[in-house]
Structures are given as structure tokens and as C-alpha cells.
A and B are shown apart, each in its own frame.
Chain A
Amino acid sequence: EAGVAQSPRYKIIEKRQSVAFWCNPISGHATLYWYQQILGQGPKLLIQFQNNGVVDDSQLPKDRFSAERLKGVDSTLKIQPAKLEDSAVYLCASSLFNSQGASGNTIYFGEGSWLTVV
């Protein structure tokens, strides 16, 4: 079974530029997450989708970050304009629905997209 795919793996941009990350979840996984992981810290949730709808985006800096999952499968996360403090690993994860119709317990992470803003 293929895992969560992310691209690009590495990106270096100047501040105020824009960047986009792509994620393809595990086939059949209805729930998709974007996490931000700053060096030396645990992952922090940015946004959670269930199919093509947003479940939680309360910690997404909406003035500069946006995300979409138009067809309920792959997703893109965009940062515009980037700031120095956006340097981090952006992790995409996915999970199944369980029998109760809620997101499954086990979430599977991709390898991450490493962003450096200079």
C-alpha cells in the first residue's frame, strides 16, 4: 500500500515569496491533515479536512496560509507571503473514517516538505 506522498521535499525561498506544497493521502483515507513542525518541537495542526470540507482550521494563519482539497483526494497548502518564522517541516497525514463515522484513530504521516525562508 502506498503511503502519504508529499512534494517538494525541500524548498528554499526568500521572505515575501510564495510557496505551495502538495499532498496525496493514502487511497481511501477521507481525513487529511496538514501539520507544521518547527525544529525541535512536536507537530502542530494547521488544518484538517474530511473529504473536501474543512473540519478545523482554527490554528491556520489565514492572512498568509491557505489550503484546499477540492476533490476530496489530494491537497495543496500555500504560503503567501512567506516570513522567516515559517521555516519548518510541513507534514501531511491521513486517516480512515471509523465505524462511528469519525476520523480513524491511526494517522499516517508523509515524509514532509522542508521549507527554509531566507
Chain B
Amino acid sequence: GENVEQHPSTLSVQEGDSAVIKCTYSDSASNYFPWYKQELGKGPQLIIDIRSNVGEKKDQRIAVTLNKTAKHFSLHITETQPEDSAVYFCAAKVPLGRGQNFVFGPGTRLSVLP
């Protein structure tokens, strides 16, 4: 089945700097890649996503890139703010009939230092 790896596990940046989190996946049939932000005591919230037919997507300070050949995708956060501090999860969606629907990475704890 699908396996999603995520790096780094922890990341500390100064306020205003950029943060990059990288994920790799194993199943070439995966066709949709969302990123979730989870704050303490809350459920994961979708922040951005990308489909397999798109190479890059941007939403204000957040962007995601996808390299289907290499099977990796990355989250980029620019001009980081203290409220960006949270745990971020990447995920890969395997089409129905191929086992798990969404497989999540282990998470990255981002700390933005003021």
C-alpha cells in the first residue's frame, strides 16, 4: 500500500523567514495531495492541496509543489508568523479500490520564533 514519509520532524524558524516541509510517496496511482495544519487540541484543518495534473499551487503565503516523477511534494510557507506554529501533515490520496483512501505522513512540528 501507499507509504508517505515527511521531513523534517521538527522545524524552527525566525518570524519572517520561510519554512519548507517535504514529503515523498510510494504509490504512483496517488492523485491528490492535501496539507493539513493541526493546532494543539484541535482536529487537522486543510490549508492547501494539489492534484496530480498540476505542478504548483499558491495561496497567499502558502504554496505547494509536486514532482510526480520523483514522487515528492513540498509545502512552502513564506513570511512566517507566530500563528503558523503548529503540526503540519501531508497526505496522499489513493484512488478507491486500492486500499487506504488517504495516507498521512508522520507530521512536522513547526515553531516560529518571534
Q: How many residues of A contact B (CB 8 A)?
A: 25
Decide yes or no whether B20 CB sits under 8 A from chain A.
no
Chain B residues touching A, range: 20 to 34
- Give every chain B residue within 8 A of A106 (Cβ-Cβ): 34, 46, 49
Q: Are A58 and B99 in contact (CB under 8 A)?
A: yes
Q: Are A45 and B34 in contact (CB under 8 A)?
A: no
Q: Are B89 and A111 in contact (CB under 8 A)?
A: no
Q: Which of B17-72 contact A (CB under 8 A)?
A: 32, 34, 36, 41-46, 49, 51
As a 0/1 sequence over residues 58 to 95 of chain A, the CB contacts with chain B under 8 angstroms (1 = contact) are: 11000000000000000000000000000000010100
Taken together as a complex, chains A and B put the C-alpha atoms of A107 and B102 apart, in Å, by: 9
As a 0/1 sequence over residues 77 to 114 of chain B, the CB contacts with chain A under 8 angstroms (1 = contact) are: 00000000000010101011001111111110000000
Q: Report the minimal beta-carbon distance from B25 to chain A, rounded to whole angstroms.
A: 13
Q: A-side binding surface: helix, strand, loop or mixed?
A: loop
Q: Are A91 and B107 in contact (CB under 8 A)?
A: no
Taken together as a complex, chains A and B put the C-alpha atoms of A44 and B32 apart, in Å, by: 17
Q: Are B96 and A103 in contact (CB under 8 A)?
A: yes
Q: Are A108 and B101 in contact (CB under 8 A)?
A: no
| CB-based nearest B residue for A105 | B32
Interchain CB contact (< 8 A) of B96 among A4, A43, A55, A91? A55
| CB-based nearest A residue for B32 | A105
